[in-house]
Amino acid sequence: MLKLTDPSSLPPGEYKYQQPETGFKIQARSWSQMLRQVRSHRLGNEGTDLSEGWEARLEEEYCIQNSLDGTPWCSDEKYYAPDPDRPLHWSDIRNFLFSMIQWVSGGRQLVNQEEAERRASICVECKDFNVDLHVACPSCTRLDELISEVKGDRTTSRDAELKNCLVCRCHNQTSIWMPNESIAKKGLSFPDWCWKKDQ
């Protein structure tokens, strides 16, 4: 199955997709925006695919429609699987800094204990994506300090089981406390059960 090699990158001419059953054309500047628009269109049109796994099937349809097979934009799924050992990418740092800016500009608000506990439970049960990321970032010595600044001494009953999110590469012990709108999610596709997923 074809997958986007990097959903955070914008292909030439933006993301373009035509719904086969209706002929409706969609253009978006991010993959998350594309997912929202396709979902919205399909909700209003019977016979279109919104069954479990539709997001993955849409990626393949998108790659085929735009003749991107064999290009840097799309590849076979076996080469796409998130890799906990991949080096930290500049986009990871950019997303983290964007989240911090959003959090500070939003008044440094945090969710309450009950909501943090709910989120922590969801992350802990997410066996595929709550993982240890084995990456080194010698130039990121300030990140730990910034993370500590966000959550302070706040804890949940599941902290010992919280690791990193393989989708956004967030530090789960920190992100569960942040308002959802502060978390950088551009181009990322979270599973349906994730509390970070845009509704």
Please name the residues in contact with 131: beta carbons below 8 A apart, sequence gap of 6 or more.
84, 163, 164, 166
* pTM score: 0.54
Say if 188 falls within a structural domain. Answer: no
Say if 101 falls within a structural domain. Answer: yes
Mean pLDDT of 42-66: 92
Say if 193 falls within a structural domain. Answer: no
Q: For the chain, what is the mean pLDDT?
A: 82
* Domain end point (choices 30, 49, 79): 79
Token pair recorded at residue 147: 């993370």
Whether residues 94 and 175 fall in one domain: yes
* Domain end point (choices 26, 53, 79): 79
Least confident of 24-38, 71-85, 127-141: 71-85
Q: Supply the pLDDT for residue 148.
A: 67
Calculate the CA 95 to chain-centre distance: 10
Say if 190 falls within a structural domain. Answer: no
Say if 199 falls within a structural domain. Answer: no
Say if 100 falls within a structural domain. Answer: yes
Which residue's structure tokens are 């959903």? 7
Burial class (CB in 10 A: 0-12, 13-18, 19+), 43: exposed
Max avg pLDDT among 72-81, 155-164, 168-177: 155-164
pLDDT surpasses 60 at 199 = no
Question: Tens digit of pLDDT for each residue in 128-172?
Answer: 788 887 655 544 445 556 666 778 888 999 999 999 888 888 889
* Domain end point (choices 53, 79, 105): 79
Range(s) of the domain holding residue 23: 2-79
Whether residues 177 and 94 fall in one domain: yes
In 3D, which of 193, 171, 32, 178 has the Cα closest to residue 126? 193
Q: How many domains does the chain have?
A: 2
Give residue 113's pLDDT band: very low, low, confident or very high (50, 70, 90): very high
Q: Supply the pLDDT for residue 19.
A: 96
